[in-house]
Amino acid sequence: MEIKTKNGVVITDEMFEKLANAYESGNWPGKATGEIVYGRPRIAEEESRTVTFRLPVSKIVALDKAALAHNTTRSEALREAVEGYLVKA
């Protein structure tokens, strides 16, 4: 099996196996890049909450295509849309 990363690098099962073995034996290549943070990255310094709303399927498909074309996610595209709306308000 192969997996293609977001930046186009292909990683094979063999590569995963080598990396796993190196990690488990304490011979991880390279060096630590900083503090390990578990969970999703924070999007704001303050508390955030989930907002749920409905859209027609055609709008969701268009939103997903636009987000993909801009190399972003549906959620990030919606956050940017809300920010733009609030600037105009």
Q: Which amino acid does the sequence have at 45?
A: E
User: What was the pLDDT predicted at 33?
Assistant: 65
74 three-state secondary structure: helix
Segments making up each domain of the chain, as ranges: 1-29, 52-89
Provide CB contacts within 8 A for 66, sequence distance 6+. Answer: 77
Tokens in use for 79? 């956050």
Tell me the C-alpha distance between 70 and 5, whole Å.
17
User: What was the pLDDT predicted at 63?
Assistant: 97
User: What was the pLDDT predicted at 66?
Assistant: 97
User: What was the pLDDT predicted at 52?
Assistant: 95
Tell me the C-alpha distance between 22 and 24, whole Å.
6
User: What was the pLDDT predicted at 76?
Assistant: 94
Q: Output the tens digit of pLDDT for each of the chain's 89 residues.
A: 888 888 888 989 998 898 888 888 878 777 666 677 778 778 888 888 999 999 999 999 999 999 999 999 999 999 999 999 999 98
Residues 77, 67 contacting (CB under 8 angstroms)? yes
